[in-house]
Structure 1
Amino acid sequence: MRKQKVSTAVIRRLPRYYRHLNDLHLAGVERISSNALGESMGLTASQIRQDLSCFGEFGQQGYGYNVEKLRGEISDILGMDRGHTAVILGAGNLGRALMENFHFDRNGVRLSAAFDIAPELVGCSLSGVPVYHVDQLDSYLRDHRTSIGVLTVPRGVANQIAARLITGGVKGIWNFTNIELNVSSPEVIIEDVHFADSLLALSYMISEET
């Protein structure tokens, strides 16, 4: 389906398209024009058409986009139907919050296990996710194909755990540790999540308004 190398900016917009189309689908909207879609998302119609053209031709002139079909196409582009599985490293406050409140399954990812060292957590099940001791990580990865590692461990052990994930065959790391990981595997994709960066950017923007 992909016709060319896709820019990071386009990739970053795809989840927005999916989320917006999903809301439209749930609201019973069957079709929408690129103009209407762009207006509701704060984008131009030409930007939407250009983004989607990276992956194929989805709309019809004079009709627009079939909401359900386009939602399905973007879901496929994002890999939501590829059976990705994830494990969480660190079942403390942030790890537990993700397990309890973030719907991995709605995003095409099955959360299969968590790992920690705290005696009060190991052997428990949090929101249906079993928690194992981190010493079992390597053997678990050998026995269970795992696509994504979610890092919520302390900064001091982040690189060590990331290296174990990569050795275990994980293809992507969702990194919440607030440090840049030092990994030597270019085929492994790292997605860094820095809450402070977002907050500080907001702080700057509201300061500029005053």
Structure 2
Amino acid sequence: MSRPSDVTAALAMDAVAEAAGVLKAATFDKVFVQAPELVLRAVPVATSAQLSVTRHGDRQPAFSRADRVRLGERQVVPSPAPNSLSLSLRTHDRWATGALVLTSETSEDLTGAAALTAELMVILIEEAIERAHAADVITQLRRELAAARDVGIALAAASNGLDVATVLQMLGDLDPDAGQGFAPNDDQLISAEAAGSDVPLLRLLPGGGA
């Protein structure tokens, strides 16, 4: 027969696993907003959870909070001496720092299994923020590389007295993949002046080979 503590621990681990799935490919905004609620699911003795995060370049931290009363889970009878647990948060690249603060307004302490589960959740949050940041950096790099390649092709065409279509054809003859991702689109033209030529520069179409 399972003891109550064993059941509680099993439910907590299930909640941690669920949180890992939710945060696996989440954007930073999604991680920031959903993390406190996910923490409450994993740490049932906590009545509220607050996440503070300061990203590189931020002047002040941002706060996200969840509590059981607002979530409609249960009414909390305040304890004469509420207790709290504060855990620091920092990504490996130090792009983001912060803290997770749990509060219990009942007679239940945030120690033992509750504290261990909270630490696991902090690790998940840190990793989720790191993945979201990495995804943003990769997206930005792809965009910048695509723009640089676009400009390079247009400049090569102008300096050799060719049109862009001819240069793309030449690239395609050399490498079938090299000329992909470029196509004329009136909404995505760069001004010719930006390239120092009379030839309009073509932006990469969304989804083009980056």
TM tier, smaller = under 0.3
Larger radius of gyration: 2
Bigger relative contact order, structure 1 or 2 (CA pairs below 8 A, ≥6 apart): 2
Normalising by structure 1, we get a TM-score of 0.24
Normalising by structure 2, we get a TM-score of 0.24
